[in-house]
Amino acid sequence: MEKERQLNFLEAVREAQKQILEMDPRAFVLGEDIGIYGGGFGATKGLIDQFPDRVLETPISEAAMTGVAMGAAILGKRPIMEIQFSDFLTVAMDQVVNQMAKIAYTSCGSMTAPVVVRAASGGGTGAGTQHSQSLEAWFAHVPGLQVVMPSNPYDAKGLLMAAVASPDPVLVLEPKSLYKTIGYVPEEAYEVELGKVKVIQEGEDLTIIALGAMLPLVQEALESLPYQVTLVDLVTISPLDRQGLLEAAMKSDKTLIVTESYGDFGVAAEIMASLVELGYQGRLKRLTSLFSPIPAAQSLENQVRPSVDKICQTIEEFYRED
């Protein structure tokens, strides 16, 4: 049966790109080692065989490839650019922040740069300080740039297809710790709507808002807890679905936000502030990574990032405080 079709996260991303290239002659893929090698994690494996003229191997220069992608997008193409690690976006900050995100505004709408940037994000793999960061709050702070983060293979495919269809630049942050996770993915092309939260389940005891790799950790934690929980997958970081978040939070008098990115000046802080400003009067907590560089040793990395045990402990704190 179709509903039994299972792919892992990377296979879903690869299938999305293949179908986009088949359906849209404007689309092409570019990045470092994305051709014969198939990309740093294998997300473009085999694409160059089928689309030899539309898989562009670039030099090791994130700034240069971003400039190429932006120029092509302005001229009507639909580039999908792979950044092997989201940390390397720091090398292309001028192109992404000062040019790509602002071209529609500075040209009074006469030009747009609908670039899709894929980037492996976050920790959980022992990849070290410069390869494990969660920088989504940086980019969500930039007007003109959409930022999304899938938590499962279904959304990995659907969000990428929706991003390519968007008239604006989209940064798709893929939690690398989820690349081997398996889930249901339809064979046909489909889109997951940008800018909307997903309510995974509903309950009256507690609302949990999770992002990216934190969602499966929360789901695992809930298996051992007796509470009825409304679980929300944030999906899109910018634009933030504030009304959808409020509606989910209002289902209980307690709300927990779980993100891999830091709490300091972060996504969780923005969600908390938004809920308060919109009139939510329940209690709020956040669980985020510790404000520290990400250690290379996985045993230490596990202490910095949220875990199933930390999620359970934080939920129990809500009830001890009653």
Among the listed residues 43, 38, 35, 45, the one whose alpha carbon sits nearest the alpha carbon of residue 13: 43
The distance in angstroms from the start CA to the end CA of the chain is 47
- Measured CA to CA, the distance from residue 96 to residue 51 in angstroms comes to 27
Hey, what's the torsion of the CAs at 99, 81, 234, 269, to 10 degrees? -40
Among the listed residues 24, 131, 130, 137, the one whose alpha carbon sits nearest the alpha carbon of residue 78: 24
Torsion-angle region of 144 (φ positive above 0: left; ψ -120 to 50: alpha; else: beta):
left
CA dihedral over 22, 23, 28, 31, signed as positive or negative? negative
Q: Is 24 exposed, middle or buried (0-12, 13-18, 19+ CB in 10 A)?
A: middle
Torsion-angle region of 50 (φ positive above 0: left; ψ -120 to 50: alpha; else: beta):
alpha
> Which pairing describes strands 170-175 and 116-121: parallel, antiparallel, or unpaired?
parallel
Integer angstrom CA distances of residue 95 from 99, 105, 120, 241 = 5, 15, 19, 27
> Which pairing describes strands 236-238 and 146-148: parallel, antiparallel, or unpaired?
antiparallel
Using an 8 Å Cβ cutoff, are 242 and 276 in contact?
no
Residues carrying an active site annotation: 131
Residue type, 277: E
Other residues' Cβ atoms within 10 Å of the Cβ of residue 111: 12
